[in-house]
Chains A and B, each alone.
Chain A
Amino acid sequence: MQEEILLQMKGIDKKFPGVLALNGVDFTLRKGEIHALMGENGAGKSTLIKVLTGVYQKDGGEISLEGQNVSIKSPQDAQNKGISTVYQEITLCPNLTVAENMFIGRENGSWIKRKEREKRADEILGGLGIPARSTQQLGDCSLAVQQMVAIARAVDMNCKVLILDEPTSSLDDKEVNMLFDLMRDLKSKGVGIIFVTHFLEQVYEVSDRITVLRNGELVGEYPVEKLPRVELVSKMMGKDLDELSTLGEHEEKKTIVNDVLYEAEGLSSSEAQPFDFSIRRGEVNGFTGLLGSGRSESVRAIFGADKVNGGTVKIKGEQVKVTKPIDAMKHGIGYLAEDRKRDGIIAELSVRENIILALQVMNGMFKPISRSEQEAFADEYIKVLNIKTASRETPVGSLSGGNQQKVILARWLLTHPDYLILDEPTRGIDVGTKLEIQKLVLKLAEEGVSVTFISSEVEEMLRTCSRLIVMRDRRIVGELKGKDLNQTQVMKTIAGGEA
């Protein structure tokens, strides 16, 4: 490995009103290294990245790039200095072609002729082994390829430092591997890569070094082979991780015999193929499968989130019609959607308003919950779920991802559902909050609430669910329970065929 220092950040301070977001943080990136930046939400990862990319101006400290002191004034400035970022959400234009996306907004970009531009784009894509054609509409490519195009764009702009902010959170395993190959390729070309992610396995698969932040301070920098996984987690959380293991030993729940709460037969929607499904009172089950296997679409059909096409639904033994969300809510079903930003939070409204929203909708427009009651509800759930917010009147959009998720959980808990559907409740949130949510699920089940839990982390589902429904290619291909509930069996069923 080359040991040449590419980027050095020293004693970086960043203050926000009332908070010291970064307190004397050091960070060093060498040439040709993949450096994982780890920390829980609120640890200061994003702030550090934003200082580095010129989104924020640092309040103290120094940044040097290849030995030269630099000050980074704006994202554009960062890009010109060779620091590029590929964000979690793709920030390119889906309705332009791949080639156009690669050259848009760049100096000289518009001067290159279309044919020439496409030729160059194909060369770059080919060189990096990215499976896309320059003339394709970007929106037609898979998310993984879109991300790779964004990386290719950065590489072509002579980037020395490439920041990947949660690049894998919407990718399936195969796509993650493609991305990793690309990252290793760039590494061998001398690019320094800063890799921000919540997935521990991925850190260990691809990184060379790990820097851990906690509460805006540097915990330490470690070569990856010197930091076992458990230690990393405890460094991130600042406490020992006994809790995780005890949770793992959660015994098979003795569910009440045959007390079926919800039952669907041949349920289908505009997005989901017909399927049968049932859940008992106090049961926690899960849908698993690769991205695009139809797991989200199926639970959306249960909630009436997409246009329901057919099937019979029985709740508590009675046949009912659930064609839109309000029907499901009136029958005691709550649904935490997969995409928190798009389908969950009302960003500009306060924590209080976000918490009472679903209950208010169920009560109807003409029975408003009084202000004092709203405040009492909000305070209660802020306390119960340990939501970190400046006040109940803070706009929910300014909270961290994990706390936003808790607000939405609070919203549904407040409706006292019989059946709660949680689609990826732990995506993109920190380990501590993940654990809290898993515990909450088990506690709800003990209280007799049925829960359907979806997560792309199989371990998490094995820990919480007593039954797993496996989907592949938009169909249910298996159901696992009891001693079949283990990682190998799940993988086998997902993969299917030659087991």
Chain B
Amino acid sequence: MKKNNKKFLSGGLGQLTIPLIAIALLFIFNLIRDPGFFSIGISHNNDGNAVLAGNLISIINGASELAVLAMGMTLVTAACGGQDISVGAAAAIAGSVFVKVLKSGSGISGGTVLLAFVAACIVAMLFGTFNGVLVAVFKIQPMIATLILYTCGRSIAYWINGGATPTVSSHIITAIGSFIPGIPIPTPVLIVALVAILFKLLFHFTSLELFTQSVGINGSAARLNGINSTFIKLLSFIILGVCVAVAGTIGVSRLSLINHETLLLDVEMDTILAVAIGGNSLGGGKFKISGSIIGAYVIQMLTTTLYAMKVSSTDVKAYKAIVIVLLVVIGSPVVKQRFGKLLERISSKKKITVKGAEE
């Protein structure tokens, strides 16, 4: 009992407790409200494929871009103790590059799509490097450093396609944005899983996790242990760049067009929120990528629930804010500590009574 309490308080499994409880509560709430809310059915889409359909699927699907960005943001947050607020704008740039390359050839083959994606990745990594250099080399506050790209990113995206919002029609793009024929699970969901696995592999086959946490917790000690903290911070931004390119590609593929004004608009704040709901400290240090993914699903589930309750889209933000305030307060160290003390008292009381019984 005591061991569990300790774990609960000191991270580990405990970090995920609150986001998991949040998801469970939303789940239960929806089930009571509408027992059929989570029923998953099989329907046929326009191409005649049998695909999974239902609220749950659309929630998981809808959170894909957010989840991918949140994973990268977790790393930046951990290493730099700050957040990148330019991810939405950078995704618009990456999406624009993606479309630009797709449009440059005569037709769209698998090769062109791959080429376009690689181009989007490179560009997003370059912008990530720009942010990273400002933060890691020039020691500018991450939020200020990324404010630059946040401000001008969508203008750059506008220039790439000459101000137009070109559409791309290709079955490959449709497949990325919705379903691959023969597979009933939405492709963006598969992409999230793939990115998560890649992160897992990255942490397994390198010491990036240990180094990032060391830099985030105690930069001075990390340096004296030979860690190149500038490089670690820069790297976190570059990795986030890849996530941005992936999110941009998913976003473009869903609509088969690029709209530099609206693609992933305001996603940066939701991304940061997902990291926070996931129990990660926004001041850097220890982190859990899985927490941020759950955080992304919490946000999406909340939004979907509110829409399902016929809350108007203007009001949704206000209701969302209420729930988020609750989550963040419950997850705060102060409440955790109080709660921990309470548990301690209960467990110690129990012990005393047990002892008494023995005597």
Contacts and interface: CB of A to CB of B under 8 A. Distances in A.
Interface string B196-207: 000000001111
B280 to A, nearest CB: 12
Contacts of A348: 11, 213, 217, 285-286
A385 B228 CA distance: 29
A368 B222 CA distance: 17
Contacts of B6: 17
A357 B205 contact: no
Interface size class of B (residues with CB under 8 A): 20 to 34
Contacts of B286: 348-349
B214 A357 contact: yes
Contact of A357 (B11, B204, B210): B210
A335 interface: yes
B227 A361 contact: yes
A369 B220 CA distance: 23
Contact of A365 (B211, B221, B223, B348): B211
Given A346-B217, A348-B217, A368 B207 contact: yes
B226 A362 contact: yes
Interface stretch (A76-84, A117-125, A187-195, A336-344): A336-344
Nearest to A412: B225
A111 interface: no
Interface residues of A, number: 32
Contact of A346 (B2, B207, B218): B218
B49 interface: no
Interface core residue of A305, A353, A368 (most chain B CB under 10 Å) = A368
A335 B5 CA distance: 37
Max chain B C-beta neighbours (<10 A), residue from A342, A343, A348: A348
Provide the main secondary structure of the chain B interface: helix
Contacts of B213: 346, 348-349, 353
A60 interface: no
A86 B344 CA distance: 30
Contacts of B206: 365-366, 368
B195 interface: no
B235 to A, nearest CB: 9
A137 interface: no
B122 interface: no
B255 interface: no
A170 interface: no
B59 interface: no
A419 to B, nearest CB: 15
A347 B214 CA distance: 9
Nearest to B204: A368
Nearest to A369: B207
Of A347, A365, A366, A368, most B-chain CB atoms within 10 Å = A365
A66 to B, nearest CB: 31
Contact of B221 (A17, A344, A362, A369): A344
A342 B226 contact: no
A349 to B, nearest CB: 6
A361 B348 contact: no
A353 B222 CA distance: 12
A346 B214 contact: yes
A216 to B, nearest CB: 17
Contacts of A347: 217-218
B224 interface: yes
B214 A358 contact: no
Given A325-B224, A361-B226, 11 more contacts: A303-B224, A326-B226, A344-B221, A346-B214, A346-B221, A348-B285, A348-B286, A349-B213, A368-B204, A368-B207, A395-B10
Q: 7 smallest A-B Cβ distances: which pairs?
A: A326-B226, A361-B226, A368-B207, A325-B226, A329-B226, A346-B217, A365-B206
Interface of A: 15, 17-18, 303, 305, 324-326, 329, 335, 337, 342-349, 353, 357-358, 360-363, 365-366, 368-369, 395, 411
13 contacts: A17-B2, A325-B223, A326-B228, A344-B224, A345-B221, A346-B214, A346-B222, A349-B217, A353-B213, A362-B226, A368-B207, A369-B207, A395-B10
